[in-house]
DNA sequence: ACTTTTACCGACCGTTCGGTAGGTAAGTGT
DNA sequence: ACACTTACCTACCGAACGGTCGGTAAAAGT
């Protein structure tokens, strides 16, 4: 969906139906034929984004042939690819900070973030108890979103790269810790 | 400045000169008498925000009568107060994600974030080398901004509270580590 | 005293906003 | 064959947008 790109690039309020129509090759009224309001269109876009996100990023969490560290890195690197394309950042975070107070799309955004946390948590839980994995997954995502913020401000991908290194190193440390416990 | 509140609450694009004028008690043309364009007004607002931020939040970093842990906690709690008031979140982060790609205000936003990182770094550097303190300060702010994101989505202050606990606990651990090195 | 500047207003500009009305041309069902 | 639906268009709506205009009334300068 081209509309996704537009919203991702320019945010909700700074994207007009005119622009969205142009991006799809339709006229504005043609777009309104398919979606009754801008808000409805955005809701559809968000469902689509969640689906893409699940298929392209979160699916990595269940590639059980890879060891957890590599799965985590691969997952994060896929997300980084989405974020650095046209320096868009994270779609969910962009919209969340823009519309979070009014809460127009909070339910969808929340589930998007929670799906993500669950996927990361599933990876981490191989090296730590489920509740610790869940907490750490949430923390990792928070740190990542902050890194994306700095990336958007500075255009310096190093912030994202550093984060990935930190996350993977942390997981390795947790893995050593868990295996030493098993040994004991 | 009442304009700050408006931009903080509703973002840049979703705040019209009409609303800003109403918030200040002026008419629109009266507002244009003081600021030639919306962009210029926003730039002034950002300077003002930085100044307030420095005076109210970052100044805590140099209250040398408090131990570092308490200084960090006080600083973070002050920021939390700003963020939870009307559930606005972090002004810099809101505007950064909304306008970061076009880069209209990136310079000011960057210095705002870097001032912040410097203030936190100054606190941390009492327990660790300067370069490590700087890295850790940046990391803490990233994690904090992520926590604010989740707070905006869920309206649950616990995300911020948990972050503060983590940050202070981390610093305490670093303090013990540094004192054990000094003993050796 | 009088001139100039400052702060502000109501009214208005052209443009764009989200959204609608009415029409057309290509399928689709029967 | 003919009705009906679908997909899309041009043209338009009132409201709101960022921004400007000419004027006024109070303050400041001299």
Judged on CB neighbours under 10 Å (0-12, 13-18, 19+), B184 is exposed
Pick A101's closest partner by Cβ from B9, B96, B143: B9
Residues of chain A contacting B13 with CB distance shorter than 8 Å: 11, 13-14
Is the model's pLDDT at B137 over the cut of 80? yes
pLDDT value at residue B178: 59
pLDDT value at residue A180: 54
E strands, A9-152, in order: none
- SS3 state at A25: coil
- Which H/E stretch holds residue B115? helix B106-124
- Express each pLDDT in B145-163 by its tens digit: 999 999 999 999 999 999 9
Is the model's pLDDT at B90 over the cut of 80? yes
**What is the band of A176 on the pLDDT scale with cuts at 50, 70, 90?**
confident
Is the model's pLDDT at A163 over the cut of 50? yes
In angstroms, rounded to a whole number, what is the distance separating the alpha carbons of residues A159 and A170? 16
Is the model's pLDDT at A179 over the cut of 50? yes
Closest residue, CA to C1' of D6: A33
**What is the band of A182 on the pLDDT scale with cuts at 50, 70, 90?**
very low
**What is the band of B182 on the pLDDT scale with cuts at 50, 70, 90?**
very low
The residues spanned by each domain of chain B are 1-56, 67-184
For strand D, give the nucleotides within 7 A of a protein CB: 7-12, 16-22
In angstroms, rounded to a whole number, what is the distance separating the alpha carbons of residues A131 and A4? 34
Closest residue, CA to C1' of D12: A29
Is the model's pLDDT at A72 over the cut of 50? yes
Contact A81, A95 (CB under 8 A): no
Is the model's pLDDT at A78 over the cut of 60? yes
Provide the CATH topology of domain B1-56.
Answer: Arc Repressor Mutant, subunit A (1.10.10)
CA-closest candidate to residue B95, choices B3, B183, B13, B160: B13
pLDDT value at residue B180: 55
Is the model's pLDDT at B2 over the cut of 90? no
């Amino acid at each position: 969906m081209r509309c996704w790109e537009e919203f991702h690039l320019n945010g909700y309020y700074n994207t007009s139906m005119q622009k969205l129509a142009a991006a799809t090759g339709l006229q504005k009224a043609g777009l309104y034929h398919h979606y009754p309001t801008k808000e409805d269109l955005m809701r559809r876009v968000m469902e689509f984004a969640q689906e893409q996100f699940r298929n392209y990023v979160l699916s990595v969490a269940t590639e059980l042939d890879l060891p957890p560290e590599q799965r985590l890195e691969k997952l994060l690197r896929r997300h980084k690819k989405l974020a650095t394309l046209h320096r868009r950042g994270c779609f969910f975070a962009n919209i969340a900070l823009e519309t979070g107070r009014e809460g127009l799309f909070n339910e969808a955004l929340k589930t998007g973030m929670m799906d993500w946390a669950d996927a990361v948590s599933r990876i981490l839980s191989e090296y730590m108890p489920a509740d610790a994995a869940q907490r750490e997954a949430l923390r990792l995502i928070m740190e990542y979103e902050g890194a994306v913020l700095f990336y958007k401000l500075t255009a310096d991908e190093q912030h994202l790269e550093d984060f990935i290194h930190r996350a993977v190193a942390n997981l390795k440390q947790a893995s050593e810790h868990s295996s030493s416990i098993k040994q004991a």
